[in-house]
Structure 1
């Protein structure tokens, strides 16, 4: 079903407005000079690793270690992501390279 130009623009503006306001809200609640509450600092410190951990588990939930290729492409790609991240400390580089390596492994090698 094709989407009209008006509907497309409405979707674009709605998404852009939503993103803008979600980025603006922290500055409204925590203006410059006002101390950030300890619970917010705690959540900012522990939630990113927790979310990444959940994403890793979700991504690897259907990996079969009992059938060929025994999860080797996934294990190699995860190891590459970890090593690159520890070495370069760059999320985009490590995740991008790990994804490219995984795609190469499942298409060409395994």
Structure 2
């Protein structure tokens, strides 16, 4: 029973912390939406974060020792970009890229390349 109490407490604290980190910026910056710094961050930060995530993904997930280095990570990345430019739907592009990456990894589709 003690383990269940600990687990539920841990989940509750993690949920509250996650929710707070999502809500606090909106509450704090509600009065400052016209500030030039906030406008600058709102315009450039999403692209910078996506570029950082893509860089980390490519360096960590790709097989750079293969005959065609990194192809197993670059192909799903290109699919994400293509679908996003085509449909402008982040959820669809991320889901398609994830599915493509996992299919390549699980089936060993590019193992010979």
- TM class, shorter-chain normalised? 0.7 to 0.9
Aligned residues: 106
Q: Compare the two structures and name the one with the higher helix fraction.
A: 2
Answering whether residue 67 of structure 2 is matched by residue 68 of structure 1, we say yes
Structure 2 contact 76–97 (Cα < 8 Å) conserved: yes
* Partner in structure 2 of residue 12 of structure 1: 11
Q: What do you get for the CA RMSD once the two structures are aligned?
A: 2.2
Structure 2 contact 84–93 (Cα < 8 Å) conserved: yes
Task: Give distance in 2, aligned partners of 1:6 and 1:59.
Answer: 37
Q: TM-score, normalised by structure 2?
A: 0.77
Unpaired stretches in structure 1, ≥5 consecutive residues: none
* Partner in structure 1 of residue 55 of structure 2: 57
> What is the CA-CA distance between 1:105 and the residue it aligns to?
2.4
Residues 47-105 of structure 1: CA deviation (Å, up to 9, x unaligned): 11111101111111143556324322222211111110011111111111112112222
Q: TM-score, normalised by structure 1?
A: 0.78
Moved over 3 A (4+): 62-66
